[in-house]
Amino acid sequence: MTPRAHPTNLIEFTADFLSSPDFNAAGARIEITNVRSFNRDLFAMLDDSPTLADAERAFMLYMNALFAIDVEQAPTSARTPFRSCFLKLLQGWGFDSNGPEGAVMKGWVESRFGLRPSYHKHPLDRDDPQAWVPYLKEKMDSRFHSNSIYSQLDLLYEFIQYILRRFIYQDRTHITVYRGLNLCEATHLNRKACCLMWLNNCVSTSTDPDVAGCFGDIIVKIRAPVSKILFVNNLLSIRPLRGEGEVLLIGGDFWVTPQS
């Protein structure tokens, strides 16, 4: 088993297979164990929603009822308790994917999908325990775990998958996204041919190659499974990320093609 995968997770596939290029080429559907069965009311509401806007409204009402989060009512005083919220987490990721919010999201992917992160502030070497200390401290930060933040992300993932399948991509199994790489990341990249590349367990990509080019010297094209999409920034009315076409992707080994 690859050292980048845990032996257990909360999906039906092994993490080793989930991270493989074979899975990424096939693009099978994924469900996090018990999320849909424990939240039948949400998915009944979604089934009764005729449009994407109605589905988003139903989702936000459900999240507000379950976790007491209301994006229109941010804390205004010191007496107002801080409640961790998936939208604030996404916003923090948008500012710095190597900050505490990024660690929490990478920790969620690690917990649910069994994929270890390969980078947080610096490369995470399994043979160097000290390299993991900042990541481990930040992913367990009590500020973000006071309101079942992993459960919030579970529901976000399943909701995004629902609306992608129903309203956006229907039966499509893959989409094309782009990622900008710096020269350090692209050291082993064959710039003239398709090659295998490991993407961090949670990683930002873009549907627009020009936008991806703002974040690196080299742009690679990725054929990404729809089932590995966690969030699409321009899909909903609330857009917590900074990149207009930003897509958060669950990582692994992907065949990538450098853009000329």
pLDDT tier, 60 (very low <50, low <70, confident <90, very high otherwise): very high
For residue 75, what are the CA distances in angstroms to 166, 179, 183, 210?
35, 35, 41, 37
Query: Which residues contact residue 175 at a Cβ distance below 8 angstroms, ignoring those fewer than 6 apart?
Result: 169, 207, 223, 224, 226, 229, 247
Instruction: Compute the C-alpha angle 154/160/163, nearest 5°.
Output: 140
Question: How many CB atoms lie under 10 A from the CB of residue 120?
Answer: 23
pLDDT tier, 82 (very low <50, low <70, confident <90, very high otherwise): low
Looking at the whole model, is its pTM more than 0.75? yes
Distance CA 148, CA 170 (A): 31
Are the C-beta atoms of 118 and 200 separated by less than 8 Å?
yes
For residue 154, what are the CA distances in angstroms to 11, 46, 108, 217?
11, 16, 9, 34
Strand partners, 198: 253
Lowest-pLDDT choice from 68-72, 120-124, 241-245: 68-72
Q: What is the pLDDT of residue 70?
A: 67
* pLDDT one-digit tens code per residue, 174-221: 999 999 987 666 666 766 679 999 999 999 999 999 999 888 889 999
User: What DSSP state is assigned to residue 117?
Assistant: P
